[in-house]
Amino acid sequence: NAGVTQTPKFQVLKTGQSMTLQCAQDMNHEYMSWYRQDPGMGLRLIHYSVGAGITDQGEVPNGYNVSRSTTEDFPLRLLSAAPSQTSVYFCASSYLGSDGTSYNEQFFGPGTRLTVL
């Protein structure tokens, strides 16, 4: 199993450009999520999904869009990049418990380091 994969590993954008960060998992996990990690801020949840066709907002959703058309893929779109979106982005996945609470470890991808000039 490849686990959680993310592409690209590094990206430099100019302000106003758009791009999509790719995330895929091969563990048949229902739950997938996107985080950003900034120095001293820890991981902050951007968007998450509990299954194909279902997405919801996390703590810091502004400026980002997601969709979940398959169980395996969960891309994150930046529609108009801003310098404030310079960060390291992590995708994660896990199983969902029967009562909707995860109770399971999250598997993280290797991250995408994004710089917006």
Q: How far is the CB of 98 from other proteins (least distance, A)?
A: 11
Q: Which is nearer to other proteins, 14 or 62 (CB)?
A: 62
- C-beta of residue 61 within 8 angstroms of C-beta of residue 47: yes
Which residues have CB under 8 Å from 26's CB, separation 6+? 1, 2, 3, 72
For residue 93, what are the contacts with CB-CB under 8 A and spacing of at least 6? 4, 25, 27, 29, 31, 32, 33, 74, 106, 107
Interface with other proteins, residue 90, by CB under 8 A: yes
DSSP 13-55: E-TT--EEEEEEESS--SEEEEEEEETTTEEEEEEEEEETTEE
Nearer to other proteins, 7 or 80 (CB): 7
Binding mask 30-59 for other proteins (x = CB under 8 A): -x-x-x----xxxxxx--x-x-----x-xx
Residue 102 sits in the site that holds other proteins (CB under 8 A): yes
Binding status of residue 92 toward other proteins by CB under 8 A: yes
Shortest CB 12 distance to other proteins, Å: 17
> Where do contacts with other proteins occur on this chain (CB under 8 A)?
4, 31, 33, 35, 40-45, 48, 50, 56, 58-59, 90, 92, 96, 99-111
